[in-house]
Structure formats: C-alpha cells, structure tokens
C-alpha cells in the first residue's frame, strides 16, 4: 500500500511536471515570456511536492497523495459546475445603417468640401466631436504618438493596393450562365476561398439590415442610395499574425491589419470575378469599399458571434481576423447563423478587453437591446479618436482577448474546454489571467 502510494505520487508529479513544462515550452515558442515563467514555476511548485512526497516514509506519501486527489476533485468540480447558465442569443439586426454616419466615413470628410457641408447640415450634433478628432495627428501620421516610419510605410503600401483593387470589385457578367446545384456551387466557392488563404468561409442570406443605406466612402458617389439586390453573401475570414497583434498598439499592428485587408480584398475580388465568369452577378466588398456591414454578414454566415469589443469572435481565432464578403445571386446553401452562446457567456464574465482598453471605450456592463440586435455597444468615437492620436489602429483589445491565442493544439484544447460549461469558462479565464496576466 505504502509502495503504491509512493509510486502514484511520483507518477502524478512527473506527469504534471511534463504537462506544465510543455506549456512553458510552447509559451517560449509563442514569445509569451510571462506565460513561460509562470508555467515553469508552476511545474516546480506543483510537481515538486508530489515528487518529494514519494521519497517520504509511507504515511506521508499517502497523505500527500490524498491532498493531491482532493485538489484534483476540486478542480474537476470547478470545471463541471455550474452545468448551465442562461444566455440570451444575439438576435437579428432590424434597422439599416447609413454608412455616412460611421466613424471611418466621417473621418474622411474634408472641411470645405461639399460632402463635409452636406453631412454636418444633416448631423450638426456630430461636428464638435469630429473636429476634436480631426485636430489630432491622424492614422499613419508622422506626428502620431506611435509613429514608426517603416511600419507606417508598409501599412500605407498595403492600403494603396487595397485601394487599387476597388475598380475590380464589380464588372461585366459573362452572358452564358453555368448551372450547378446550390451545394456544388457552395462547396466549389468555399474550396477556392480556403485555397487562396481564407481561414473560414460561410454563406448567409442577405438581409436588408446587412446593407448600408447610403455610400459613405469607397467607390461610387458619396451620399448615393445603395441598392444591392443580391440574395446571398459569402463571408470569410483571414488570420492576423499573432506576433504582430501581440505588439499592439505599436506600429507593427497597423501594418498587419493593412496586410490582411489586402489578403481579404484579393480573395473577395478573385471570388467575385470567378462567379461573374460563370454567368452570375457578384460584387466584392473590401476595406473602405463595403456596401454591407461585414461583421453582421459574417455572423449570419455562421462564422462567429459579436463579442464585447464589438468585433466578430470566431471559434478558432477569436477576434484576430479580418473579414471579406462577396455578394451574389449564384445559388448557394446558407449556414446556420452564428449564435455561439459559450462565447457570449465567456464575454459576459471575462471583460478583459474592457479592463485593458486605454480609453475606456468598451463597456463593462451587460449587452443592451438595440436595432442592431442584443449586443455590447462600444464607444467607437472615443476608440477612433485614440487611433488618430497614436497613428495605429490600436488593437489592444484584440491582443488581450483570451480567444486571440495562436491556433495551436494547446489553445485549441482550451477553447474546446470553454464550450463545455460555464464552470470551465470561469476556470479557463482564471488560468488565462494567471498565466498571461489580467493586464498583459
């Protein structure tokens, strides 16, 4: 009996040491120094006593093993309970949005231009706030707080490529229409997008509230009414590099955002071109040239949920993605809308993005009912003003989000665990705070 207790104690100690040391090694590989330090320290602090107990006289080994078993039972119980917690789904958007009202469109208005005058005649209440933002150095400006010439130049180069692709978002449709079943078209187009670098692809039936009412930026005349009659939307995500996001809010993150906008624009433009070539109309929606609200479409296409920080939360990469959309009439099979309640529940208890937002633009409270569905409403004016002060797109919220960790086996297991129960979500959040810090 004594011998068995000692053997068990030693085996458990070695197992835990191997596990925690592996987590430490993975963290070193991921460049997460704090996580590596905490994991190696935990390997010593947790496994050490068990290994030491195995060397003790019989009763002490038995006692140590009993303590270990009690802790294990406590952890497992914490994982399992509570089994359920009521979470309301996000619901559907019911009102269309005017693109001229979004902060990116307002940020482009130049004083003295006809658009400027027309907009502030229509919305005089936004003028004072927007002028405060306009007085700041601006995105990618040399005078901004986080200015870094090389990264800003890289971002600028990428944005100019995305802009150059604007003339390719739409085009002539081949007169001869190719026919396939909706399933075959869906599989073929999904395969193409994945082959070109998309991480996830989904199809949604386009709803009126997905489409902006008037053009606020991009191709077309500012203020024109948008009439997009396509029935379907193909939404897809591309991954932002983890190491670049980890540097947020410094300049490399905006270079990475711009790079992934190019990638998503390329895929969208190519996909739309293929569809038109098959005799069906299609339009690509790219950065600065959307006719649709991309996160809403992506959510309806089953790619994720809208999290506390207002971004699409995907199951594999969290918010660390950029979204591309193609709208079309080619027959397709829609996915079930995104309603991953485990993500919404996690966001309810987590609040890490809200704690770390440098300007307090993310709410700490509950979701509220609005015409855009039940959601957390971020103060996007304050967020955008901060971008204009520092010159980058910040992304601190994206960096600290527990769902943003790399798409590796270790993090995939953790993400799967968060789907099991509210208890595992609380446990995983506690571990994330311990390993990476509440304020990483």
Contacts with ligand SF4 in 287-346 (CB under 6 A)? 307-309, 346
Q: In this complex, which beta carbon is closest to ligand SF4, that of residue 328 or of residue 388? A: 388
CB atoms closer than 10 angstroms to residue 33? 10
Interface residue with ligand SF4 among 96, 123, 134, 351 (CB under 6 A) is 351
Q: In this complex, which beta carbon is closest to ligand SF4, that of residue 24 or of residue 422? A: 422
- Contact segment (CB under 6 A) with ligand SF4 among 69-77, 239-247, 261-269, 350-358 equals 350-358
Q: In this complex, which beta carbon is closest to ligand SF4, that of residue 232 or of residue 386? A: 386
The label of the residue with tokens 């906008």 reads 261
Spell out, one character per residue from 15 to 34, where the chain touches ligand SF4: x when CB under 6 A holds, - when not.
Answer: --------------------
Residues forming a β-bridge with 308: none
Interface residue with ligand SF4 among 169, 262, 330, 394 (CB under 6 A) is 394
Concatenate the DSSP letters of all residues of 165-233 into one string: GGGGSS-PPPSSPP---HHHHHHHHHHHHHHTT-SEEEEEE--GGGB-SB--SSSS-TTPBP----SEE
SS3 337: coil
Is residue 361 involved in binding ligand SF4 (CB under 6 A)?
yes
Interface residue with ligand SF4 among 133, 260, 278, 396 (CB under 6 A) is 396
Question: What are the backbone dihedrals phi and psi of residue 83, each rounded to the nearest 5 degrees, phi first?
Answer: -75, -35
Is residue 253 involved in binding ligand SF4 (CB under 6 A)?
no
Q: In this complex, which beta carbon is closest to ligand SF4, that of residue 166 or of residue 308? A: 308
Q: In this complex, which beta carbon is closest to ligand SF4, that of residue 284 or of residue 354? A: 354
Q: Are 402 and 438 in contact (CB under 8 A)?
A: no
Contacts with ligand SF4 in 399-428 (CB under 6 A)? 400-403
Is residue 347 involved in binding ligand SF4 (CB under 6 A)?
yes
Residue 304, C-beta contacts closer than 8 angstroms, at least 6 positions apart: 298, 312, 313, 314, 315, 338, 340, 343
Taking the C-alpha atoms of residue 227 and residue 214, their distance in angstroms, rounded to an integer, is 9
Residue 250 C-beta: closest distance to ligand SF4, Å: 12
- Contact segment (CB under 6 A) with ligand SF4 among 162-170, 268-276, 389-397, 405-413 equals 389-397
Taking the C-alpha atoms of residue 351 and residue 345, their distance in angstroms, rounded to an integer, is 11
CB atoms closer than 10 angstroms to residue 372? 19
Q: In this complex, which beta carbon is closest to ligand SF4, that of residue 333 or of residue 410? A: 410
Is residue 245 involved in binding ligand SF4 (CB under 6 A)?
no
Taking the C-alpha atoms of residue 60 and residue 6, their distance in angstroms, rounded to an integer, is 9
- Contact segment (CB under 6 A) with ligand SF4 among 66-74, 106-114, 214-222, 356-364 equals 356-364
R_g over Cα of the chain:
25
Query: Which residues contact ligand SF4 (rule: CB under 6 A)?
Result: 307-309, 346-347, 350-353, 357-359, 361-362, 378, 383, 386, 394-397, 400-403
């Amino acid at each position: 009996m004594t011998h068995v207790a000692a053997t068990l104690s030693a085996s458990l100690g070695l197992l835990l040491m191997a596990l925690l040391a592996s987590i430490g090694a993975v963290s070193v590989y991921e460049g997460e120094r704090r996580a590596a330090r905490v994991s190696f320290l935990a390997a010593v602090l947790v496994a050490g006593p068990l290994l030491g107990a195995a060397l003790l006289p019989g009763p002490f080994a038995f006692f140590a093993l009993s303590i270990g078993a009690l802790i294990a039972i406590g952890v497992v119980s914490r994982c399992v309970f509570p089994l359920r917690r009521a979470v309301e789904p996000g619901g559907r958007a019911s009102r269309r949005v005017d693109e001229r009202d979004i902060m990116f469109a307002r940020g482009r208005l130049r004083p003295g231009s006809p658009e400027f005058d027309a907009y502030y005649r229509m919305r005089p209440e936004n003028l004072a706030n927007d002028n405060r933002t306009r007085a700041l150095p601006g995105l990618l400006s040399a005078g901004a707080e986080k200015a870094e010439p090389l990264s800003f130049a890289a971002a600028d180069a990428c944005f100019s490529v995305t802009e150059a692709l604007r003339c390719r978002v739409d085009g002539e449709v081949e007169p001869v229409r190719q026919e396939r079943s909706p399933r075959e078209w869906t599989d073929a187009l999904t395969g193409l997008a994945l082959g070109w670098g998309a991480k996830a692809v989904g199809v949604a039936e386009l709803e009126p509230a997905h489409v902006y009412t008037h053009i606020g930026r991009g191709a077309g005349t500012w203020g024109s009414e948008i009439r997009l009659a396509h029935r379907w939307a193909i939404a897809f995500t591309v991954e932002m590099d983890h190491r670049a996001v980890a540097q947020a809010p410094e300049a490399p993150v905006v270079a990475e955002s711009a790079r992934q906008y190019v990638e998503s624009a390329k895929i969208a433009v190519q996909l739309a071109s293929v569809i038109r070539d098959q005799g069906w109309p299609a339009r690509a929606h790219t950065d600065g040239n959307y006719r649709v609200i991309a996160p809403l479409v992506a959510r309806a296409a089953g790619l994720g949920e809208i999290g506390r920080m207002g971004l699409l939360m995907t199951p594999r990469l969290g918010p660390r993605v950029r979204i591309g959309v193609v709208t079309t009439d080619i027959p397709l099979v829609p996915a079930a809308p995104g309603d991953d309640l485990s993500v919404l529940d996690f966001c309810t208890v987590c609040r890490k993005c809200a704690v770390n937002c440098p300007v307090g633009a993310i709410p700490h409270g509950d979701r509220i009912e609005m015409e855009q569905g039940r959601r957390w409403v971020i103060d996007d004016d304050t967020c955008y003003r901060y971008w204009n002060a520092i010159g980058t797109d910040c992304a601190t919220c994206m960096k600290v989000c527990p769902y943003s960790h790399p798409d590796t086996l270790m993090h995939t297991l953790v993400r799967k665990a968060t789907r099991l129960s509210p208890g595992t979500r609380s446990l995983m959040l506690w571990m994330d705070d311990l390993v990476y810090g509440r304020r990483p």
